[in-house]
Amino acid sequence: MRKIATVCLLFAILAVFFPSLVSCNDGDTVTLYVYNWGEYISDGSEGSLDTNRAFEEWYEETYGVKVKVNYSTYSSNEDMYAKLSSGAANYDIVVPSDYMVARMIDEGLLRPLNMENIPNSEYINYEMMFGKGEVYYDPAKAYSVPYTYGTVGIIYDATQVDAADVGTWGVMWNEKYTGNILQFNNSRDAFATAMFYLGYSVNTDSEAEWREALAKLVEQKPIVQGYVMDEVYNKMENGSALIAPYYAGDFFTMYEDNENLAFAYPCEGTNVFVDAMCVPAASEHPEIAEAYINFMLSKEAAIANAEYICYASPNRLVYEDADYIAAMEELHPDAMRILYGTEEMKLEFYENLPEDKLMLLNSLWEELKIESPISTVIIVLTCVILTAGAFFGSAWAIRRYRQRRIREALWN
């Protein structure tokens, strides 16, 4: 009886302190908590591969352990960071952007990865994203594995905008297109358009350069139709605007509804960003999480995800695959150049700004936006109150529908 009691006591201790071991040994299903951006993984819709389900089946077949992926999403790095840093929830996989990876490493929120469990990481082409330079947000490549990457360029109506004008950020200041130019409605991206045009680093320490960029944006303001984010889809698709800076991966959603649209990279350079798979320090199943990362880097899963979300993949198994290239070029004849750019492109990452520069940026942004007459502000606020619910609800629904139509074209 003492032996039985001792065994029961040991099992109880294991259940408290090592729940993952008990769940694996007693045949129960292990839950793997994955936290990712919305619409950022192939989910089985429109005939695509459900990569989470495929992982569950592969893991059970390979290791004899049932795993259930509990998949939830966030809309910004800051939302994800707030949830993890507060301890409000534990996750096994997160997919932060480069600058947030750096912050989370500094704050001890990420666990170093055992790369022996992620052999498919050898297919990641870091030179494609960083050239000969180091991975600034994770120099030792110890905490993260790139999932996707993207760039910013200029989307324009090729039937009404001179192609010679869009080879530079200067088109955003071209009075020929007064009233037909859109600008980012977020400080970092908007200031970057001016910084690149002026030839400055988007991570500059110089307050004078930040203020010069503000002056450039103030100069631009009279010819800008509006400051937008998701509204860019409707405006560019229906032709109510002709020029907009935006993310390369999202160009295809707009092009699907307006084939007059084209995409260009300015000669002065542009922003590049990476979203990377990481394991939080509080993960209860780090080895299964590493197996998940490795699976998502496998050829079938990586191609399915890349085709589904229409963002560039740094995985050689994807961008060297003939079928993937053919599928993307069927979507748009210039899709590979738009997504992957060229070797001649000048690219710069957004680094996590020091606190004083972040405060300066926020102050300058407020200064730019506050110049509107008070009467205009009142009118705009009134319109927002009256129409926000209906507009944003329908806008998100329409965007989701259009993304799915693109995926149908890829998978059918």
pLDDT, average across residues 179-200: 96
- Say what the pLDDT of residue 358 is: 87
With beta carbons less than 8 A apart as the criterion, state whether 121 and 312 touch: no
CB-neighbour burial class of residue 95 (10 A; exposed 0-12, middle 13-18, buried 19+): buried
With beta carbons less than 8 A apart as the criterion, state whether 247 and 263 touch: no
Low-confidence winner among 36-40, 176-180, 260-264 (lowest mean pLDDT): 36-40
- Say what the pLDDT of residue 107 is: 94
Low-confidence winner among 240-244, 261-265, 395-399 (lowest mean pLDDT): 395-399
Average pLDDT of the residues of the chain:
87
Alpha-carbon span 51 to 40, nearest angstrom: 11
Question: Is residue 379 predicted with pLDDT exceeding 70?
Answer: no
Residue 96: which of 40, 153, 32 has the closest Cα? Answer: 40
Question: Is residue 124 predicted with pLDDT exceeding 80?
Answer: yes
DSSP single-letter state for residue 178: T
Q: Give the pairing type, strands 181-184 and 224-228.
A: parallel
Alpha-carbon span 404 to 307, nearest angstrom: 11
With beta carbons less than 8 A apart as the criterion, state whether 252 and 332 touch: yes
Residue 378's pLDDT band, with cuts at 50, 70 and 90, is very low
CA-angle at 388, arms to 385 and 390, nearest 5°? 125
pLDDT, average across residues 358-371: 92
pLDDT, average across residues 146-164: 96
- Say what the pLDDT of residue 77 is: 86
CA-angle at 400, arms to 191 and 224, nearest 5°? 30
pLDDT, average across residues 364-385: 61
CA distances 14 to 25, 363, 398, Å, are 11, 53, 50
- Identify the three-state secondary structure at position 213: helix
Token representation of residue 46: 């429109």
Buried b (16+ CB within 10 A) or exposed e, 229-244: eebbbbbbbeeebbbb
With beta carbons less than 8 A apart as the criterion, state whether 136 and 351 touch: yes
pLDDT, average across residues 46-68: 96
Residue 373's pLDDT band, with cuts at 50, 70 and 90, is very low
- Say what the pLDDT of residue 76 is: 82
With beta carbons less than 8 A apart as the criterion, state whether 214 and 360 touch: no
Q: Give the pairing type, strands 67-74 and 30-37.
A: parallel
Q: What percent of the chain has pLDDT over 70?
A: 83
Convert the pLDDT of each residue in 4-20 to its tens digit.
Answer: 344 344 444 433 334 34
- Say what the pLDDT of residue 27 is: 58
Question: Is residue 374 predicted with pLDDT exceeding 90?
Answer: no
pLDDT, average across residues 121-141: 91
Q: Give the pairing type, strands 93-94 and 30-37.
A: parallel
Convert the pLDDT of each residue in 299-344 to its tens digit.
Answer: 999 999 999 999 999 999 999 999 999 999 999 999 999 999 888 8
DSSP single-letter state for residue 215: H
Alpha-carbon span 240 to 142, nearest angstrom: 47
Question: Is residue 39 predicted with pLDDT exceeding 70?
Answer: yes
